[in-house]
Structure 1
């Protein structure tokens, strides 16, 4: 899968960092791989910074999906780097959760923070980068929708599936992913005219800081699967909810 220009949010750890690792070793890696995180100058981004030193295609940018001014600054950096080529692939990966929160203990501030990061964040990030996505799409009018042309991949979760909800659990996180799924569906309808593909991908329960050590799947296998799925996506998949194996999931 060749994608000229890619941007990933939440790229300093977990799935985001693994996306960076696997994309740079493709036989045809992106020309520009913008790896963003909230605090790139701290120890939390040490491994990401090391990747950027080893590979000049990786460009580390500060981007906090809950801070519009931060997003705007990132857009300006990307615009200067890509010129008229635009942005081909936006992976909205940044996400947080609340642990151990019950209906008796939940606080408005923590719940709103999860929603701001997991749902409103992808909305604001997509809004800001949409002109560059449209630019990339308009450069490739001979093909249908694809990740190589112009696409938005929202990293979701089966925990956001209302139909599959059977066990309760982290209800604030579940709410945020259910809302992200609706955003994905709405975006896919509105951006179809621009030939921009929008898909929600479920990485499944994965060993990350967010998923914890008991998860059954490694981040490496999850991202490997999602990248394989992304090579197959086209206009028939826009607006769908798909897991890392390519299976369609119910909303």
Structure 2
């Protein structure tokens, strides 16, 4: 399988967790992207300190303010990124920013459902829409991709196996909706030469995943990087785990 040469990549939610790890591993890759756009809601906040340190050491890392749920912020970020691209295309968009709440069928509220849905579904939709003109492939210019960081808990078929331990209603519903967004983009963006894929990163030791998780950030992102760097048209529209195994919708 041929390697996907990534000249530019944008990752949402880059100030911590999987997003920050993606930045670090892209920098360590054998052919680092010429431009790595690390986006986060508050570049000047304390959570962004490690990201700012990376940007100071690596000139190819550009920190961009981006609140994925704020249309004005998304549009402003596109203008900033386009300026740095100098007329070139954005090769890969990784919709990583997400949120999680421990609500069951009994405790789930409308407010929480709408909040999580806004971050996990509306955000990726707004970002994908806004960046679509920069990702759209020109004839003969190689691959381009939109990668959604999804979750096994969004699989409709796997609900009976995992529900008792992880009811998390708003998170499940939002990730199932994100998967549908990914499938729709697969069909709608096919003619533009854009590969669209949803990836379950595994149960990872992050602020969201907790200390009981089975994977480290390094392991999860390392495996997902291999998938992203070898993406093919045949994988477009699929839902896979961090090892590349197909997950039922």
TM over 0.5: yes
Distance 2:141 2:87 in 1: 18
Distance 1:103 1:63 in 2: 32
Aligned partner of 2:100 in structure 1 is: 97
Distance 1:105 1:22 in 2: 38
Aligned length: 242
Displacement of 1:230: 1.5
Distance 1:199 1:110 in 2: 27
Unpaired segments ≥5 residues, structure 1: 144-148
Residues 109-120 of structure 1: pairs in structure 2 closer than 5 A? 109-120=111-122
Aligned partner of 2:159 in structure 1 is: 165
Distance 1:244 1:233 in 2: 13
Is residue 19 of structure 2 the alignment partner of residue 47 of structure 1?
no
Equivalent position to 2:150, from 156, 168, 178: 156
Equivalent position to 1:65, from 51, 61, 68: 68
Residues 31 and 142 (structure 1), Cα distance of their counterparts in 2 relative to 1, 3 Å cut: closer
Aligned partner of 2:134 in structure 1 is: 132
Which piece of structure 1 moves more, 164-173 or 153-162?
Answer: 164-173
Distance 1:244 1:165 in 2: 19
CA contact (8 A) 1:2 1:29 kept: no
Aligned partner of 2:14 in structure 1 is: 11
- TM-score normalised per structure 1: 0.94
Displacement of 1:233: 1.5
User: Which aligned segments of 4 or more residues in structure 1 are displaced greater than 6 angstroms?
Assistant: none
Q: SS at 2:233's partner residue? A: coil
Aligned partner of 1:27 in structure 2 is: 30
Q: SS at 2:37's partner residue? A: strand
Residues 142 and 89 (structure 1), Cα distance of their counterparts in 2 relative to 1, 3 Å cut: closer
* RMSD after superposition: 1.1
- TM-score normalised per structure 2: 0.94
Aligned partner of 1:36 in structure 2 is: 39
CA contact (8 A) 1:63 1:74 kept: yes
Cα deviation 1:105-162 (Å, max 9, x = unaligned): 322222111000001100000000000001xx10x5165xxxxx21000000000000
Unpaired segments ≥5 residues, structure 2: none
Distance 1:204 1:182 in 2: 19
Cα deviation 1:212-232 (Å, max 9, x = unaligned): 111000010000000011122
Distance 1:202 1:239 in 2: 14
Cα deviation 1:146-199 (Å, max 9, x = unaligned): xxx210000000000001112321111000000000100010001000110000
Displacement of 1:86: 1.6
Distance 2:110 2:171 in 1: 13
